[in-house]
Structure 1
Amino acid sequence: MIAIDNARKSYSKEVKIGPLNIEIPNAGITSLIGPNGAGKSTTLLMIGRLLNMDGGQIKVGNMDVLESKSEDLAKVLTILRQENHFVTRLTVRQLVGFGRFPHSKGRLTREDDVVISKYIDFLDLTELEDRYLDELSGGQRQRAYVAMVLCQETEYVLLDEPLNNLDVARSVQMMSHLRQAANELGRTILMVMHDINFAAQYSDRICAMKEGRIVAFGTVEEIMNSELLTDIFETEIKIIKGPQGPLAVF
């Protein structure tokens, strides 16, 4: 479980996140939604210990995020930010191999190679594993980064807008892979989502944020409510019944 207790972050007198209080259960996919500036990415970064809190406590799997050793936390939690800048020229296989660092400390074993191959295959990257990252399309590169974080084999996976810069077809493909990771690998995935309908179709739970606060948390059916979403996004949103669940129409 991810437990957030009175976590807060202040950027200025006008821009504040929190206090945040929520318990996100294990397994499945939970999506953070809300307008720009709602605090979604800040919340994710605080959980992943990439951003210091100004107060409060966050526990991931009973490990205090602030007090735990980095090497211990890295075996429980992994995070993928929107911005990934590798200055060296890497192949797909080399990139995915970075996910084994908490386990191998840079000295890959035969067992590590087996795990690397597993996630390259899982993300359908087998034919691309010897290609350099700068030779890939945006969608292929994004799949390689997700393969890297899954290769770390942590129970908790944090993703900041995993569909960033992907077209609709590639977004469907990516979300199918993440749904499969939750179902078949038992991962607990928490991700920031820009597209409400993708969140609704593939998530188990949705956490809605506005102005630095959590305003609603529940099942897809509970959050996909016209009145609630209209208030959060401050624009009229209607919910219709689609073939695979509720859909938001702006």
Structure 2
Amino acid sequence: MMQLEGISKSYGDKPILDAIDLEIPSSKLTAFIGPNGAGKSTLLSIMSRLLEKNQGAVLVKGTDIDAWKSADLAKELTMLKQQIHYQSKFSVEELVAFGRFPYSQGRLTQEDQTKIEAALAYMNLEEFRQRMIDTLSGGQLQRVFIAMVLAQDTDIILLDEPLNNLDIKQSIAMMKTLRRLVDELGKTIVIVIHDINMASQFVDHMVAFKDGKLFCSGSCQEVMQKPILDELYEMDLLVEEIAGRRLCIYQ
């Protein structure tokens, strides 16, 4: 569904990404991991066409992303950035309705309303629909953004650090939601995440980056190994097996 071929990006003479080749597993939850400055968020922005690459190709359903019309691409792929600028005067329902803009151009049809209702129900937000978004907690606001993504109804969802500013309870709830989107709705989701312990509990596939290069990729069991994590993060790590899953615990 989504394939990266030789993606490179630099700012002046500073390389950010170097010849990234990667195939994103369809209908799976994939985590981009690695130290700060590894190029994870930059690559996600390139994958969503928010940032121009220097070299390479991003293929969405076999077609180069640059060949897609913006309106058509917005029906295939959604990108939710780490920092979202919004007007606090919006209600929850109004913000979720923005997900239908690629289809309605602001003139909502009955089909649009049905999608909005379904997204609100899926995220358990019906009771909040008239609440202004500036009155919501961080966890509630993240649920609204995910509902907006659901209303957009794309097969591919890209999320840049969706756990940012969430406490542990809210983070677990968010990861459970993403897991459900994959298992119940067949979505293909890619997240940038720093908490590899959290990621290991929920994702299907991990892709590790270091110094702008693809370091390794595979299942959680394959990537969450002491030698790999030691080299990736350049620090002493202890890998323990807890409840049948390999977790990274810092010494």
Q: TM-score range by the shorter chain?
A: over 0.9
Whole-Å Cα distance in 2 between the matches of residues 6 and 99 of structure 1? 31
Whole-Å Cα distance in 2 between the matches of residues 198 and 244 of structure 1? 15
Tell me which residue corresponds to 1:218: 218
Aligned 8 A contact 2:46 2:52 in 1: yes
Q: How does 1:38-187 map to 2 (within 5 A)?
A: 38-87=38-87, 89-187=89-187
Whole-Å Cα distance in 2 between the matches of residues 178 and 118 of structure 1? 16
The Cα of 1:93 is off from its aligned counterpart by 0.6
Tell me which residue corresponds to 2:20: 20
The Cα of 1:146 is off from its aligned counterpart by 1.1
Aligned 8 A contact 2:6 2:55 in 1: yes
The Cα of 1:244 is off from its aligned counterpart by 5.5
* 1:246 corresponds to 2:231: no
The Cα of 1:147 is off from its aligned counterpart by 1.0
Whole-Å Cα distance in 2 between the matches of residues 16 and 85 of structure 1? 25
Letter in 2 for 1:107: R
What's the CA shift string for 1:146-170, capped at 9, x where partnerless?
Answer: 1111211100000000101000000
* 1:200 corresponds to 2:196: no
The Cα of 1:213 is off from its aligned counterpart by 0.6
Q: Which moved more, 1:13-22 or 1:44-53?
A: 13-22
Whole-Å Cα distance in 2 between the matches of residues 237 and 116 of structure 1? 45
Give secondary structure in 2 for the equivalent of 1:66: helix
Letter in 2 for 1:3: Q
The Cα of 1:196 is off from its aligned counterpart by 0.2
TM-score by length of 1: 0.97
Identity of aligned residues (%): 42
C-alpha change, 1:55 and 1:84, in structure 2 (3 Å) is same
Give secondary structure in 1 for the equivalent of 2:67: coil
Gaps of 5+ in 1: none
Whole-Å Cα distance in 1 between the matches of residues 125 and 245 of structure 2? 30
Letter in 1 for 2:206: I
Gaps of 5+ in 2: none
Whole-Å Cα distance in 1 between the matches of residues 166 and 140 of structure 2? 10
Aligned 8 A contact 2:216 2:223 in 1: yes
TM-score by length of 2: 0.97
Whole-Å Cα distance in 2 between the matches of residues 242 and 120 of structure 1? 35
- C-alpha RMSD of matched pairs (Å): 1.1
**Runs of 4 or more above 3 Å deviation:** none
Give secondary structure in 1 for the equivalent of 2:17: strand
**Aligned residue pairs, count:** 250
